[in-house]
Amino acid sequence: MTQATNSPQAGPALGSLDLAGAPLVLGGNVFGWTADDPASFAVLDAFADAGGRLVDTADVYSAWVPGNSGGESEHTIGRWLARTGRRDDVLIATKVSQHPDFRGLAAGTVRAAAEASLERLGTDRIDLYYAHYDDGATPVEEVAAAFSALVDDGLVREIGISNSTPERIDAWFAAAERDGLHRPVALQPHYNLVERGFEQDLRPAAERHGLGVLPYYALASGFLAGTYRDGESPDSPRAGKAATYLDDRGRRVLAALDDVAAAHDVPVASVSLAWLRAQPTVVAPIASARHVGQLDALLRSMTLELTADEVARLDGASA
């Protein structure tokens, strides 16, 4: 039987992974999609040089692009690691369940996908391995055991859950407790200033189980960077989604962000990420950059501390 080594934490944490000094996750979804190797390498260099720690990807990135088959982002990160020798400078998170060749979370699929990710990344361990989307066809006991076995075998350091329900999260932890398995330490939900559904049921689940939260779409496809406003719509694959937020509520949020950003002399994106970091259970938001010019605002968020009044104003504007 596997012996559990991770117990629920009193506050936001990621088990053995330390992000305390760098509370920002670099999203790798753009690597091999809207960022080619030179642009991706420059972003990764700048992120690591600034003390950034965790790079987040998935085995499916970016299978949706014509001509791609999945794994492009992992390959890009792997080439960067090989080129720079900086494996020990960063932590790598990736995910399983959506790659065209490794769909779902059956035990054999989880192991085969992890081994394929390790090969693409050119590394001997995945620091944080997520169940990307829940698989209702596979018993949660099987999923929990499959991930725990990867930890036992040294292929994975810590386990994460993404895009799941509170009920399935509870069931995973019940299985881990009953069978003496390694417990997940991280939860990756869709959460930002204009998408706050996480607060209803998933945040209580994170609190129950001591899960550190790493929100994705932290900038709402660029809307919370202040990029999309009335009469302004940059040419971007994400423009359609971002434009849906430009309603009365979205305008209130942008106005509040503008005021707080001006008070701190920082970009709007920095404030949006700092608001997320101030939320209960959140360890670090995830944000991506297609080029180095977009990275500065993300990095500045790591040290930006909002006042309680500023957090409350943003809460009210986005309510």
The number of angstroms, rounded, from the C-alpha of 37 to the middle of its chain's C-alpha atoms is 21
195, 217 Cβ separation under 8 angstroms:
yes
* Nearest residue to 224 (alpha-carbon basis) of 185, 264, 195, 265: 195
Per-residue pLDDT of the chain (319 residues; tens, 9 = 90+): 334 444 333 346 799 999 999 999 999 999 999 999 999 999 999 999 999 999 999 999 999 999 999 999 999 999 999 999 999 999 999 999 999 999 999 999 999 999 999 999 999 999 999 999 999 999 999 999 999 999 999 999 999 999 999 999 999 999 999 999 999 999 999 999 999 999 999 999 999 999 999 999 999 999 999 998 987 766 666 667 888 999 999 999 999 999 999 999 999 999 999 999 999 999 999 999 999 999 999 999 999 999 999 999 999 999 9
Please state the three-class secondary structure of the chain as a single string.
CCCCCCCCCCCCCECCECCCCCCCEEECCCECCCECHHHHHHHHHHHHHCCCCEEECCCCCCCCCCCCCCCHHHHHHHHHHHHHCCHHHCEEEEEEEEECCEECCCHHHHHHHHHHHHHHHCCCCEEEEEECCCCCCCCHHHHHHHHHHHHHCCCEEEEEEECCCHHHHHHHHHHHHHHCCCCCCEEECECECCECCHHHHHHHHHHHHCCEECCECCCHHHHHHCCCECCECCCCCCHHHHHCCCCHHHHHHHHHHHHHHHHHCCCHHHHHHHHHHCCCCECCCEECCCCHHHHHHHHHHHHCCCCHHHHHHHHHHHC
Q: What does the angle CA 198 – CA 201 – CA 207 come to, to the nearest 5 degrees?
A: 90
| Phi (first) and psi of residue 142, to 5 degrees | -70, -40
Identify residue 317 by its one-letter amino acid code: A
CA distance 71 to 92: 14
CA distance 53 to 268: 23
87, 124 Cβ separation under 8 angstroms:
no
pTM over cut 0.85: yes
Token pair for residue 111? 């192991």
